Structure 1
Amino acid sequence: MLPATPPQTAAPADDVAATFGRPDGVEGSFAPGGAPVDRPQPHIAPPDPVLAEAFSRPAGESDTLQRDPYAVPEPEDVPEPDPWRSADSTASLASPAVAAAPVNGPTTFGPKLGIREVLFGGRVHWWALATLGVLTLLVGMFGGLVGRWTAEVVTPLHSNSVKLDGSAPDTDESRGAVARVVKAAQKSVVTVEVRTAVDGGSGSGFIVDKAGYIVTNNHVISKAANDSKAKLEVVFFDRQRVPARIVGRDIRTDLAVLKVDDVADLTVAKLGDSDKVQIGEEVIAFGSPLGFDKTVTSGIVSAVGRAVPLRPDADSDTDAVINAIQTDAAINPGNSGGPLLNDDAQVIGVNTAGAMTGGGSIGLGFAIPISEAIPIANTLIKTGKVNHPTIGISASTVRNDRIFGAQVRDVADGSAAARAGLREGDVITKFDGKHIEGADELTVAVRTSKIDEAVKFTYWRDGRYFDGEITPVSD
């Protein structure tokens, strides 16, 4: 078996060996002493001047890399401490910061300055200054002449030649529909005044006959009717004041008729047909609200057939439910009893009540239809009293998820309702062709029916509807 042969390594190139090889005579990494060099050695180029300046040792330093730790640096020039910047400095006197100016002798005043020196620094000649003054004077004179001329052109504030004339063309033609209605009806409207020993009140009315009959509301003259010492007067359009008497009154309809005597040339109001009134048509309310006579307000018909209850109070014994015409024409206290007029100056209602908040009209006024007021007034003029139909029940409004109507609370023995078979708890939903949604609607329907004439009605009992017939009788 042949002995192992060590691997052979190629010899380095001469220039590589010269640069990185050991010097001649040096076998290991360290040599005790230098060996003669008999072959080319690497040449170290001088360092770059910039690098030498940046990294070389300072001048005067030893060749060692480490400085002497015990060497004492030469003292540097340290400026003297500033006493103003040291908290430990003591107070001391020093030279003044600014040297005092030398004191001169007494000052003498020079010549006074003139216009040339003040305005122009003495650089303008006298003749130029004089020319400037003349030009200024000329400009001022010219401006004054222009101002005077413009002042004469402007019209003066006061004049003796102006005279205001408020005369209009002489014509008797009324301008506007409301004005025409007012002109036609104004002489037929009156103010009704009641005075007692302790207080008084006023309302309105309108003439219905040349004999001196006047229609108004019962609540207007209620105090006079209940107090024999009360004074009742009617004030006409021309301010003529005349005593009046009560012909008759009806607390169930809130209507009354008055009469005045020995008054000539009375203007009678034209009566219309309230059954033909249309919602939305224009109307005019005439009267004396709050005592302001001959007051006119206008609006439209807002609704018809509105059941409005009128209950007794300290000033009135009226206890009625009126089948009202609703209007947004302003109706305030004092308008009561006055006429509600259409565009033809015809009375279609008697102003009676108004819904109010804070004491003033809110556009909810109510009037008794004239078609219902005429038969009441005729009866009062003939007999002084009015009888109304009744069926002999008391009722209340019921509205729930099952039924709307007037629920019977009590049935009088032997009454028309008892003969018709009505019982307590029955709910009347229809009467004489009118739908009933509450007790007020039933009251109006019964009152507008006729005595001793049978009418159809519908009622609800135990979840079922029944039809019946009833004959109202006189109250």
Structure 2
Amino acid sequence: MTASRTRALRLPFSVLVCSAVLLSGCSDSGSSGRKETSTTQAAQAAVPAADGDLQSAARKVIKDVLPSVVQIQASGDLGSGVVYDDKGHIVTNAHVVGDEKTFKVTTANSENELTATLVYSYPDQDLAVIKLDKLPDGLKAATFGDSAKVAVGQIVLAMGSPLGLSSSVTQGIVSATGRTVSEGDSGGGTGATIVNMVQTSAAINPGNSGGALVDLDGQVIGIPTLAAVDPNFGDSAAPGIGFAIPASMVKTVADQIIENGKVTDSGRAALGITGRTVVDAGFQAAGVAVVDVKSGGAADKAGIEAGDVITKLGDTDITTITTLSEALAADRPGQKTSVTFTRNASAKTVDVTLGEQ
């Protein structure tokens, strides 16, 4: 789905935020299962004995990149991270760090716990950067690739700490690009709507969040963030459907955080409203009621008021706050579009120049 306007992915299932909870079966006095799986064992189990050249390439990538993937522990939850530079900055998911400010970090080639401090968390894109308090010997930064070059069918490896098993590797392909996926805001999710996600068949499990999705050139092409779950089967995982934040977006956000201590240019469009989903007489979602309008924002300038019910953005029908978020995520700040809404039972359409989130 790489049309000029990326449309939202209509999933027949929900998405699961992939942080993990430390369980008795996954940890050993804080070791989080590290003693159960060695790097070599994980690599051998992950790569099928197929074509010799392919297997050799995969093993080389694992040897080169896995040392740059770390395990991050915050209170009772854990996830993964990727060493971003030689100064000790590590990029991960915002839902991995949560509300914490300090963390325990374990690298792939050591069981010694390091400490790290939050630099900045950006929940709107579900990304965060933390920094090691002290640099260990041999710390190696990963190489991030160009998202524009990611192609469907490309063989990829997912590296991280699923279920607390650090330095684990799974294999798959890029199943699709350009996906728009909305996280839930329960179960540790940030509620973010993220565009241009990379869909992969490589297994993404709790604990993989913030790790690395790597191509056979040894470049990180995405940060694994979500796995699909099927509500028809008790919200069990839908095998082979996972999503990663594209590397180019990761670099854009991480570079701003490292340079400025925050995100200064989100690139995310906004109307400048607070809204909630409303239902019709048949209890079906029927639009987004405007609860509050930001003074001077896009909606305010267009004459949209509290109490209006938004039903369309451009050509996209709006039925819920999620569909509005997805529609805005596909647009850019400064872009001109139209908003259709009802006021006192009358439909109105106004032109809007979108602001920035």
The reply to whether TM is greater than 0.5 is yes
Alignment pair present for 1:417 and 2:329:
no
Q: TM-score, length-normalised on structure 2? A: 0.68
Partners of 1:406 and 1:436 within 8 A in 2? no
Tell me the distance in 1 between the aligned counterparts of 2:58 and 2:239.
Answer: 21
Tell me the distance in 2 between the aligned counterparts of 1:441 and 1:345.
Answer: 36
Shift of 1:207: 0.7
Larger Rg: 1
Q: Tell which deviates more after alignment, 247-256 or 207-216.
A: 247-256
Tell me the distance in 2 between the aligned counterparts of 1:429 and 1:263.
Answer: 50
Q: Which structure 2 segments of 5+ residues have no match? A: 1-52
| Closer, same or farther: CA 413–337 of 1 in aligned 2, 3 Å | closer
Match of 2:71 among 165, 186, 191: 191
User: What secondary structure is seen at the aligned counterpart in 2 of 1:234?
Assistant: strand
Alignment pair present for 1:178 and 2:58:
yes
Tell me the distance in 1 between the aligned counterparts of 2:317 and 2:220.
Answer: 28
What's 2:85 paired with? 209
| Closer, same or farther: CA 467–313 of 1 in aligned 2, 3 Å | closer
- Code of the residue aligned with 1:232 in structure 2: it is F
Match of 1:248 among 117, 120, 127: 120
User: What secondary structure is seen at the aligned counterpart in 1 of 2:151?
Assistant: coil
Partners of 2:147 and 2:248 within 8 A in 1? yes
What's 1:276 paired with? 149
What's 1:108 paired with? none
Tell me the distance in 2 between the aligned counterparts of 1:448 and 1:264.
Answer: 42
Partners of 2:175 and 2:199 within 8 A in 1? yes
What's 2:191 paired with? 319
Report 1:199-238 matches (<5 A). 200-225=76-101, 232-238=103-109
Partners of 1:449 and 1:472 within 8 A in 2? no
| Closer, same or farther: CA 406–393 of 1 in aligned 2, 3 Å | farther
| Closer, same or farther: CA 425–178 of 1 in aligned 2, 3 Å | same
Shift of 1:214: 0.5
User: What secondary structure is seen at the aligned counterpart in 1 of 2:67?
Assistant: helix
Shift of 1:183: 2.3
Alignment pair present for 1:258 and 2:130:
yes
| Closer, same or farther: CA 186–201 of 1 in aligned 2, 3 Å | same
User: 1:356-406 CA deviation, whole Å, 9 max, x = no partner?
Assistant: 356545222111122222222122223333355532234578999xxxx99
Report 1:140-151 matches (<5 A). none
User: 1:46-99 CA deviation, whole Å, 9 max, x = no partner?
Assistant: xxxxxxxxxxxxxxxxxxxxxxxxxxxxxxxxxxxxxxxxxxxxxxxxxxxxxx
Higher RCO structure (Cα 8 Å, ≥6 apart)? 2
User: What secondary structure is seen at the aligned counterpart in 1 of 2:105?
Assistant: strand
Tell me the distance in 2 between the aligned counterparts of 1:376 and 1:262.
Answer: 23
> Cα RMSD over matched residues?
3.3
Tell me the distance in 1 between the aligned counterparts of 2:317 and 2:84.
Answer: 34
Alignment pair present for 1:391 and 2:268:
no
Tell me the distance in 2 between the aligned counterparts of 1:395 and 1:286.
Answer: 38
User: What secondary structure is seen at the aligned counterpart in 2 of 1:186?
Assistant: helix
User: What secondary structure is seen at the aligned counterpart in 1 of 2:207?
Assistant: coil
Match of 1:427 among 306, 311, 322: 311
| Closer, same or farther: CA 217–467 of 1 in aligned 2, 3 Å | same
Match of 1:285 among 141, 158, 166: 158
- Code of the residue aligned with 1:428 in structure 2: it is K
- Code of the residue aligned with 1:212 in structure 2: it is G
| Closer, same or farther: CA 194–461 of 1 in aligned 2, 3 Å | closer
Partners of 2:161 and 2:168 within 8 A in 1? yes
Match of 1:382 among 252, 259, 263: 259
Tell me the distance in 2 between the aligned counterparts of 1:336 and 1:317.
Answer: 11
Shift of 1:342: 1.9
- Code of the residue aligned with 2:215 in structure 1: it is N
Partners of 1:194 and 1:223 within 8 A in 2? no
User: What secondary structure is seen at the aligned counterpart in 1 of 2:181?
Assistant: strand
Tell me the distance in 2 between the aligned counterparts of 1:440 and 1:358.
Answer: 20
Shift of 1:209: 0.3
Equivalent residue pairs, number: 283
Tell me the distance in 1 between the aligned counterparts of 2:154 and 2:146.
Answer: 14
What's 1:470 paired with? 353
Q: Which structure 1 segments of 5+ residues have no match? A: 1-172, 226-230
Higher strand share: 2
Partners of 1:354 and 1:365 within 8 A in 2? yes
Q: Tell which deviates more after alignment, 439-448 or 233-242.
A: 439-448
Alignment pair present for 1:309 and 2:182:
yes
Shift of 1:458: 3.6
Partners of 2:92 and 2:211 within 8 A in 1? yes
Tell me the distance in 2 between the aligned counterparts of 1:304 and 1:437.
Answer: 24
| Closer, same or farther: CA 385–448 of 1 in aligned 2, 3 Å | farther
Q: TM-score, length-normalised on structure 1? A: 0.52
Alignment pair present for 1:454 and 2:334:
yes
Match of 1:370 among 216, 222, 247: 247
User: What secondary structure is seen at the aligned counterpart in 1 of 2:125?
Assistant: coil
